[in-house]
């Protein structure tokens, strides 16, 4: 049995909407399905959210909106996807990497304040595995030093911090609908902008720097170039896929949570025997079952685990190479040893397969192989 790490769940519903969109002849952005998606966002998040070509692009837009410039400093974790940092360096600003909390693998708020200087402009936080950062503490620091807060909530759809949806707490919030996320459109993302005036600017940036949106709303009688912008509006064909996924959100989430809980029930037993560390969900956070990761006792054990699973045709990838250890990180002046927890944990983490359409047989097979690996570990220790 060959088990991939991830697989998008596409049903007749999504296909029906895509066909409807294609048949309509209206397949560029901001048509029927983009509007339906944005209406659904409004129901879910209780605020206006823009559909964007990707979360990476939405992050690029936040860097423009936050007016990041040459020599500005921006705080973020090193343990994240490249896009969180690309949006900063593409504006000429300097990423200031902060270590993570070993419990959640999210940016450690207690290590943020010591990195704040007179040049600091913003904090980018990442809700790793869809589990919330300690937002009260982060917002407190941001208010004290007048910093913008951007939530990279790429993995965090349908996840909460103290009852508030992730992506709605900071000045800007971004989500991803890339194939590997909980709900998908192939490539796509979204942008939430708290400030109403800035929201109108975001609409212009998305529409090549024009006020086309205001023209369609009837606010102006001609539309024209207003400011620098680009094309961050996805095709309605892709929006049609996401519309189907949004209608299936609860179904997809129920299935994902079942798999997550099944892994957790088994692996918690091995955690008690110190064979691994399971994900930790703080009191203030919910779990959206974006990811099930485990931390093994050493890098060698992690490699052994990946190879064992691979020999059984189960794909269990590791995750981020810390950004400060990358070629680009080196160019920015970082070196090994700068962020010890990030470096240690990234070497020992692996992710288990998790997708809504996983069959009972597939899940049972993975559970069987997990047991086989860890029971063997117990024997070795005796």
Ligand X SMILES: *Cc1c(COP(=O)(O)O)cnc(C)c1O
In the complex with ligand X, the residue whose CB is nearer, 275 or 289, is 289
Residue 178 binds ligand X (CB under 6 A): yes
Tokens of 82: 């490249």
List the one residue from 31, 34, 56, 342 that touches ligand X (CB under 6 A): 56
DSSP string, 217-256: TTS-SS--B-SS--B----HHHHHHHHHHHHTHHHHHHHH
Q: Does 84 bind ligand X (CB under 6 A)?
A: yes
CB of 60 to ligand X, least distance (A): 9
Among 31, 34, 83, 182, the residue binding ligand X under the rule CB under 6 A is 83
Contact set for ligand X, span 104-143 (CB under 6 A)? 126
Phi and psi for 311 in degrees, rounded to 5?
Answer: -65, -20
Task: Choose the stretch contacting ligand X; rule: CB under 6 A; options: 78-86, 100-108, 241-249, 293-301.
Answer: 78-86
Among 37, 50, 149, 154, binds ligand X (CB under 6 A): 154
Q: Smallest distance, Å, CB 27 to ligand X?
A: 20
In the complex, the smallest distance separating the C-beta of residue 150 from ligand X, rounded to whole angstroms, is 11
Among 55, 193, 278, 296, binds ligand X (CB under 6 A): 55
Contact between 295 and ligand X per CB under 6 A: no
**Structure token pair of residue 347:** 């070497």
Are 16 and 243 contacting, i.e. CB atoms less than 8 angstroms apart?
A: no
Tokens of 364: 């049972």
Ranges of beta strands (E only) in the chain are 49-52, 73-77, 94-98, 120-126, 148-152, 160-161, 164-165, 172-176, 189-193, 293-295, 349-351
Residue 165 Cβ, how far from ligand X at the closest point, in Å? 17
> Among the candidate windows 34-42, 49-57, 264-272, 346-354, which touches ligand X by CB under 6 A?
49-57
Rule CB under 6 A: is residue 159 a binding residue for ligand X?
no
Question: Given the complex with ligand X, which of 84 and 316 has the nearer CB atom?
Answer: 84
Q: Which is nearer to ligand X, 91 or 178 (CB)?
A: 178
Between 189 and 322, CB nearer to ligand X: 189
Q: How far apart are CA 49 and CA 52, in angstroms?
A: 9
8 A C-beta contact, residue 75 and residue 124: yes
Which burial class, exposed, middle or buried, applies to 311 when counting CB atoms under 10 A from its CB (0-12, 13-18, 19+)? exposed
Distance CA 224, CA 179 (A): 35
Count CA atoms within 13 Å of residue 283 on its CB side: 0
As a whole number of angstroms, the distance between CA 302 and CA 291 comes to 17
Does 190 sit near ligand X (CB under 6 A)? no
**Among residues 31, 78, 120, 176, which is the contact residue for ligand X, using CB under 6 A?**
176
* Distance of closest approach, residue 234 Cβ to ligand X, in angstroms: 10
CA distance 251 to 17: 18
Question: Residue 35, Cα to own-chain centre: how many angstroms?
Answer: 23
Q: Which is nearer to ligand X, 169 or 275 (CB)?
A: 169
Give the CA count within 13 Å in the CB-facing half-sphere of 194.
13
**31, 80, 182, 316: residue in contact with ligand X (rule CB under 6 A):** 80
Residue numbers of the site for ligand X (CB under 6 A)? 54-56, 80-81, 83-84, 126, 152, 154-155, 176, 178, 189
């Amino acid at each position: 049995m060959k088990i991939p790490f991830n697989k998008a769940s596409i049903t007749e519903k999504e296909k029906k909407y895509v066909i409807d969109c294609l048949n309509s002849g209206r397949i560029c952005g901001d048509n029927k399905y983009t509007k339906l998606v944005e209406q659904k966002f409004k129901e879910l998040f209780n605020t206006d959210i823009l559909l964007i070509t990707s979360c990476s692009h939405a992050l690029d837009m936040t860097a423009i909106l936050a007016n990041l410039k040459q020599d500005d400093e921006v705080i973020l974790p090193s343990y994240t996807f490249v896009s969180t940092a690309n949006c900063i360096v593409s504006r000429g600003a300097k990423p200031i990497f902060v270590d993570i909390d070993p419990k959640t693998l999210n940016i450690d708020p207690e290590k943020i304040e010591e990195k704040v200087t007179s040049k600091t402009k913003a904090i980018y936080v990442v809700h790793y595995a869809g589990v919330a950062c300690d937002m009260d503490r982060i917002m407190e620091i941001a208010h004290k030093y007048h910093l913008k807060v951007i939530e990279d909530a790429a993995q965090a759809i349908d996840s909460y911090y103290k009852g508030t949806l992730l992506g709605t707490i900071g000045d800007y919030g971004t989500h991803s609908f890339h194939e590997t996320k909980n709900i998908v459109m192939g490539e796509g993302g979204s942008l939430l902008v708290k400030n109403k005036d800035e929201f109108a600017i975001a609409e212009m940036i998305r529409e090549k720097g024009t006020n086309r949106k205001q023209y369609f709303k009837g606010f102006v009688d001609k539309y024209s170039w207003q400011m620098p912008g680009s094309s961050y509006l996805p095709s309605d064909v892709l929006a049609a896929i996401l519309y189907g996924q949004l209608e299936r959100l609860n179904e997809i989430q129920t299935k994902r949570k079942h798999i997550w809980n099944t892994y957790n029930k088994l692996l918690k037993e091995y955690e008690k025997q110190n064979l691994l560390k399971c994900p930790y969900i703080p009191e203030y956070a919910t779990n959206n079952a974006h990811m099930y990761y485990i931390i093994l006792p050493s890098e060698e054990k992690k490699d052994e685990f990946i190879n064992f699973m691979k020999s059984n045709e189960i794909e269990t990838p590791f995750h981020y190479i810390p950004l400060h250890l990358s070629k680009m990180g080196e160019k920015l002046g970082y070196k090994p040893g700068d962020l010890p927890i990030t470096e240690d944990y990234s070497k020992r983490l692996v992710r288990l397969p998790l997708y809504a359409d996983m069959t009972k047989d597939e899940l049972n097979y993975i559970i069987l192989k997990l047991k086989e690996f860890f029971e063997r570990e117990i024997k070795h220790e005796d």
